[in-house]
Structure 1
């Protein structure tokens, strides 16, 4: 991955200083930020890997502006105890997700049932919010166009669990902490 440029301040927070932002607050924030064409255009894009800029999110949330080269993705992961939202600002992303709540700890391999897979196309201006332990992968399936998106999480990400998937088998591969991506 590319080295992120300096942090960029964002729009004013939605949540009050004494309240935690809700999923709706985070979704509103990422929508407003994705509509900031000057900010979106300022993100340096790298043909070899994702680029990102950390933003000031509402109510102490963690937020990111992310550039996705053609053919890149996150792999299967979750955001632990954080809730979140993201919106595609430019291009198009695809999200594959699992409609199942995974145990927080104490497992390495799970067999998924046939009815848990979900997929959604997210063109520019479209996004979603999600709850704790939401397992998904996000992809730029384009062969020639970058995509850019805005993401926000609350509380700030304590960890990201990375998974591999082979058919119905989901395997916990790695747990990342903030020092691994900041």
Structure 2
């Protein structure tokens, strides 16, 4: 008795899982914070506290972390960086001042650094303006107004693994504290 076998049908390839979204670029983060800052209804929904900053977490693009932040008059962040995250922020209401250092700091292994002359940068960001920045960007953000709240939108990718906080006296920058996400969420 002869046996005849039919050829097997070709095996269909396994379905390819949908790829994870690609990491957002600094430009995409900046576009997001500018668009979000223009959302008047969202901006008006942020509760403002006369004593301290307020914030609400938002869904950022491509898995980024985003925040809507209210700044009472005379408040600021102090000097800090966002470790390995790149980011962007835009002012939605009022005016913010960003003081930044045009220098890349070592990622670890130091407590005190003396800064060279000429590394300080300062910019004022009025309503609708924003900026993007790369990893290890050291800055402070301030609402210098004596009587007006400011509101801004911030986005970071990858989501913030930590924030390093610094003190500054003249040209000396000192690492004071390392905060983890559980410290501010």
Same fold (TM over 0.5): yes
In structure 1, the partner of 2:184 is 181
In structure 1, the partner of 2:170 is 167
1:17: how far off?
4.3
SS at match of 2:110: coil
Does residue 32 of structure 1 match 2:35? Answer: yes
CA RMSD of aligned residues (A): 0.8
1:18: how far off?
2.4
In structure 2, the partner of 1:117 is 120
1:114: how far off?
1.0
Does residue 88 of structure 1 match 2:88? Answer: no
- Deviation string 1:80-115 (CA, Å, 9 cap, x unpaired) is 000000000000000000000000000000000111
- Whose Rg is larger? 2
Query: Structure 1: 5+ residue runs without aligned partners?
Result: 1-15
- Deviation string 1:10-30 (CA, Å, 9 cap, x unpaired) is xxxxxx942000000100000
In structure 1, the partner of 2:7 is none
Does residue 126 of structure 1 match 2:129? Answer: yes
Count residues with an aligned counterpart.
Answer: 167
For 1:1-182, list aligned pairs within 5 A.
17-182=20-185
Query: Structure 2: 5+ residue runs without aligned partners?
Result: 1-18
TM-score (norm 2): 0.89
TM-score (norm 1): 0.91
